[in-house]
């Protein structure tokens, strides 16, 4: 998009010529508590004035505080936390842990998935490459999402791990069904394979629960997190089931879990809790999805909470451009050019949503009239 943001507050951005924009995308679901939230700015500033960085060769007490608070809010208090810097790094470490755990290297992933620029990267760009050998460390088998038979045919004692997004983001807001997630959970247990839930985009309250997979009431072996975790500060993590043993030197990173990253993450958790943002995402998202379903021209509305995909039967590039230029509204796309992605801050208001609905209605009415 041809804009240069220079200032941001809440759900709004301002560009270099002073134009104001409503941000319904948050840089791919990164802005969880809104831009420049006062608690966040204060915590980061205070930390910067104390100590900004030292590597993991010393004890950083903020890491422990973060692990405890994240455990409490997410419901995974007994899981260990490894901190790193990006979603891709979290997923690579998850795969590495799985291989260390069971000594295997075959991984099952799903069509249209996106797990970052990792050994699994091909999935987002070309889901035809089923059974592709990506590199020497992991052999990846791509299967159709929610296809029980295809999965049951492939799962065996040779499989190292199954990796799946809580809700597919880049792939166009597509959800694994509850039954499918439960099948993955029971079958991986049966075969001593590990279930890795990539909650990089769908986590941190976005779906209306802390993690999207919690709707299916399963407990994965490994959960990866990033994006909304730092509200813009680069930070990511791997939550690890206690059955997976940690050994000295197993995982490592220079910058992961540095003081500023922890301060940013702690501020995010504090605001999510204090302002009931998971509840807000759930309630406001549910209403919004209902409203979006009424808009003429929208073929299908998918998603949960504030992770929403609108499916059209034509490419959305012109709609996106018009929303930006005429109404000052930023939205996202997906790997399917006919999908519009909405990933606003979790404290978005009804009023902001209403202004988007009106703008979309207007743009679509014109679009439909021009087609007729
Ligand atoms: N996993 C998912 C589900 C993602 O959506 C992304 C990024 O879009 C990643 C992993 C990769 O994260 P990062 O860009 O921080 O490496």
DSSP code string of 102-113: HS--EEEEETT-
Nearest CA-CA partner of 127 in 172, 72, 157, 192: 172
**Dihedral (CA of 94, 278, 228, 134) sign:** positive
State the chain's mean pLDDT as an integer: 94
**329: which residues sit within 8 A by CB, 6+ positions away?**
21, 22, 24, 323, 355, 356, 359
Measured by CA distance, the residue closest to atom 2 of ligand 1 is 115
Q: Quick one: how far is CA 143 from the chain centroid?
A: 21
Mind listing the pLDDT tens digit for each residue in 196-240? Answer: 999 999 999 999 999 999 999 999 999 999 999 999 999 999 999
Among 249, 274, 299, which residue terminates a domain?
274
pLDDT band at 306 (very low <50, low <70, confident <90, very high): very high
Tokens 């060769």 belong to residue:
57
- Ramachandran category for residue 303: left, alpha or beta (phi over 0 → left; psi -120 to 50 → alpha): left
- Say whether both 264 and 343 belong to one domain: no
Instruction: Measure 17 CA to ligand 1 centroid, in angstroms.
Output: 31
Note whether 258 and 60 are within 8 A (CB).
yes
- Closest-CA residue, ligand 1 atom 13, reads 87
Residue nearest to atom 8 of ligand 1 (CA): 116
Residue 90 has pLDDT above 60, yes or no: yes
Q: What is the pLDDT of residue 134?
A: 42
- The residue from 224, 258, 274 where one domain ends is 274
Same domain, residue pair 144 and 263: yes
Q: Is 333 helix (H, G, I), strand (E, B) or coil?
A: strand
Q: How confident is the model at residue 122 (pLDDT cuts 50, 70, 90)?
A: low
**Residues 227 and 299 placed together within one structural domain of the fold:** no
d(CA 47, CA 106): 42
How far apart CA 118 and CA 165 sit, in angstroms, is 14
How does residue 127 score in pLDDT terms, banded at 50, 70 and 90? very low
Q: Give me the pLDDT at residue 136, please.
A: 53
Q: Which run of H or E residues covers position 272?
A: helix 259-274
**Whether residue 285 sits in one domain with residue 251:** no
Per-residue pLDDT tens digits for 230-280: 999 999 999 999 999 877 778 889 999 999 999 999 999 999 999 999 999
Domain range for 315 is: 5-33+276-371
Ligand 1: atom nearest CA of 227 is 15
CATH number of the domain bearing residue 15: 3.90.1150.10
Instruction: Please give the share of the chain, as a percent, with pLDDT higher than 70.
Output: 95
Averaging pLDDT over each range in 109-118, 120-129, 187-196, which range is the top one? 187-196
Q: How confident is the model at residue 124 (pLDDT cuts 50, 70, 90)?
A: very low
Region 32-42: mean pLDDT is 98
For the purposes of burial, counting CB atoms within 10 Å of the CB of 150, is it exposed (0-12), middle (13-18) or buried (19 or more)?
Answer: middle
Q: Which residues line ligand 1 (CB under 6 A)?
A: 28, 86-88, 91, 114-116, 165, 169-170, 198, 200-201, 226
| Same-domain check for residues 133 and 47 | yes
Clarify whether residues 165 and 147 are in a common domain: yes
Spacing, Cα 371 to ligand 1 middle (Å) = 36
Counting the structural domains of the chain, the total is 2
> Cα separations (Å) of 328 from 3, 126, 325, 363?
11, 33, 6, 13
Q: How buried is 249 (Cβ within 10 angstroms: 0-12 exposed, 13-18 middle, 19+ buried)?
A: exposed
What is the number of other CB atoms lying within 10 angstroms of the CB of residue 152? 11
* Nearest CA, atom 9, ligand 1: 116
Q: Which atom belonging to ligand 1 lies closest to the Cα atom of 88?
A: 16
Q: What is the pTM of this model?
A: 0.95
Gap from CA of 198 to ligand 1 centroid (Å): 9
- Counting from 1 in the atom list of ligand 1, the atom nearest the Cα of 85 is 15
pLDDT at 105: 94
Q: Are 64 and 103 members of one domain?
A: yes
**How many whole angstroms from 113 Cα to the centroid of ligand 1?**
10
Cβ of 59: how many Cβ atoms within 10 Å?
8
Say whether both 265 and 281 belong to one domain. no
Same domain, 14 and 67: no
The pLDDT value recorded for residue 23 is: 98
**What's the confidence (pLDDT) of residue 370?**
79
Question: Which ligand 1 atom sits closest to the C-alpha of 89?
Answer: 16
Residues 133 and 143 in one domain: yes
In this structure, are 27 and 148 located in the same domain?
no
The per-residue pLDDT for 58 is: 87
| Alpha carbon 9 to chain centroid, angstroms | 22
- Which of 87, 91, 197 for mutating ligand 1's site (highest number of atoms within 8 Å of CB)? 87
Residue 242 maps to which CATH number?
3.40.640.10
Residue 133 scores a pLDDT above 60:
no
Ligand 1 centroid from CA 64, angstroms: 25
- 8 Å CB contact between 328 and 21: yes
Nearest alpha carbon to residue 88 among 53, 123, 56: 123
CA of 228 to the centre of ligand 1 (A): 11
Q: Write down which residue in 240, 255, 274 finishes a domain.
A: 274
Q: What is the pLDDT of residue 128?
A: 41
* 238 and 172 within one domain: yes
């Amino acid at each position: 998009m041809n804009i240069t943001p220079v200032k941001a507050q809440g759900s709004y951005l301002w560009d270099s010529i002073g134009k104001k924009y409503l941000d319904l995308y948050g840089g791919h679901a990164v802005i969880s508590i809104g831009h420049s939230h006062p608690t966040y700015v204060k915590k980061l500033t205070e930390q910067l004035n104390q100590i900004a960085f030292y590597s993991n060769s010393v004890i950083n007490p903020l890491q422990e505080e973060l692990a405890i608070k994240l455990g409490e809010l997410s419901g995974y208090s007994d899981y260990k936390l490894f901190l790193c810097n990006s979603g891709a790094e979290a997923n690579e470490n998850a795969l590495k842990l799985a291989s260390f755990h069971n000594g295997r290297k075959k991984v099952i992933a799903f069509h249209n998935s996106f797990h970052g620029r990792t050994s699994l990267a091909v999935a987002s760009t070309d889901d035809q490459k089923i059974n592709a050998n990506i590199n020497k460390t992991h052999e990846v088998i791509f299967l159709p999402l929610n296809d029980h038979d295809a999965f049951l045919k492939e799962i065996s004692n040779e499989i190292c791990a199954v990796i799946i997004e809580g809700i597919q983001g880049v792939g166009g807001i597509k959800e694994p069904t509850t039954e499918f997630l439960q099948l993955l959970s029971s079958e991986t247990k049966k075969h001593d394979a590990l279930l890795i839930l990539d909650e990089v985009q769908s986590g941190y309250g976005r779906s209306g629960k802390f993690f999207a997979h919690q709707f299916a009431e399963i407990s994965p072996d490994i959960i990866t997190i990033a994006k909304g975790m730092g509200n813009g500060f680069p930070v990511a993590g791997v939550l690890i089931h206690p059955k997976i043993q940690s050994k000295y030197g197993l995982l490592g990173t220079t910058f992961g879990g540095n003081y500023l990253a922890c301060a940013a993450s702690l501020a995010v958790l504090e605001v999510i809790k204090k302002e009931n943002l998971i509840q807000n995402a759930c309630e406001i998202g549910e209403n919004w999805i209902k409203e979006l379903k009424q808009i003429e021209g929208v073929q299908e509305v998918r998603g949960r909470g504030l992770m929403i995909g609108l499916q059209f039967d034509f490419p959305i590039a012109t709609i996106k451009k018009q929303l930006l230029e005429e109404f000052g509204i930023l939205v996202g796309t997906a790997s399917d050019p006919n999908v519009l992605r909405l990933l606003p801050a979790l404290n978005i208001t009804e009023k902001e949503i209403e202004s988007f609905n009106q703008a979309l209605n207007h743009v679509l009415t014109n679009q439909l009239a021009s087609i007729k």
